[in-house]
Amino acid sequence: MDELISLFPTPFLRSTGVLPPPLVEGLIQYFVAQAKQDNNTSPGLTHTRMLKPGDSPLFIEAAALITPKLVDFGVQLFGERMGWALKEMWVNVLDTGGHQAMHNHANSFISGVVYLTPTHPSSQTVFMKSPGGVDFAFKNDHAGIEPGPFNADKWVSPAPAPGDMVLFPSYLMHAVPPNRGERRITLAFNAIPLRLDSWGYVVRFSG
């Protein structure tokens, strides 16, 4: 009898309908006008400045709905239910033809995206393996292979609806391919636990 074991998998949480339609529409109406900062990876991508949840009543409302999911997801990362704080939030506006280069998020433990508008299939968020350190030096890569969770270089996240959210470890590389559809608007954020305890060595964070 053979048993294939998924060793040290990476957790990824997909939650549908986290933000209700009125809140989604309010975020779009208020923050799109503030998304004036250019992104140096693509001329079709702009975003707001980094904001705190307390900077807007809309963010406070969104944070109240997101935080319980952070607590649940944190159990998968650290094995304990603990307090979590949203460190920063921002809104991205991706116009037709724009893209977002591969990146991860520093100085945080959980990152997330809430989709505020419909997403064209061309611009669904793609998650990737780390560029180095975990692959063999020589790869088997040709048209005849069958990609799977143990040999694929990337994974395209499921098609989201407005109000849907994904959470993932902040170290996970991700990108958005060129958008061939309508304007795509997302709310992104980073979160940190209130404290981590390693056998009495306690580090406390402030959001």
* Per-residue CA distances from 140 to 63, 150, 151, 164 (Å): 44, 12, 9, 36
Give CA–CA dist 36/135, Å, rounded.
39
Confidence bin at 206 (pLDDT 50/70/90): confident
Task: Give alpha helix (H) positions in 82-154.
Answer: none
Count of Cβ atoms closer than 10 Å to residue 111 Cβ: 20
Count of Cβ atoms closer than 10 Å to residue 73 Cβ: 22
- Phi, psi angle pair for 160, to nearest 5°: -95, 160
Residues 35-93 pLDDT 10s? 999 887 888 999 999 999 999 999 999 999 999 999 999 999 999 999 999 999 999 99
Mean pLDDT of 12-33: 97
- The position carrying tokens 């997801």 is 73
Residues 115-129 pLDDT 10s? 999 999 999 999 998
Asked whether the CA dihedral 83, 87, 92, 98 is positive or negative, the reply is negative
Instruction: Say yes or no to pLDDT of 167 above 90.
Output: yes
Write out 11-37 in H/E/C secondary structure. CCEEECCCCCHHHHHHHHHHHHHHCCE
Provide the pairing of β-strand 84-94 with 184-193. Answer: antiparallel
Give CA–CA dist 153/149, Å, rounded.
9
Q: What is the pLDDT of residue 42?
A: 85
* Per-residue CA distances from 137 to 44, 76, 95, 147 (Å): 36, 31, 38, 18
Q: What is the CATH number of domain 13-131+146-204?
A: 2.60.120.620
How high is the mean pLDDT of the chain? 93
C-alpha torsion angle, residues 47, 53, 58, 63 (rounded to 10): 110
Each residue of 42-62: b (16+ CB within 10 Å) or e? bebbbbbeebebeebebbebb
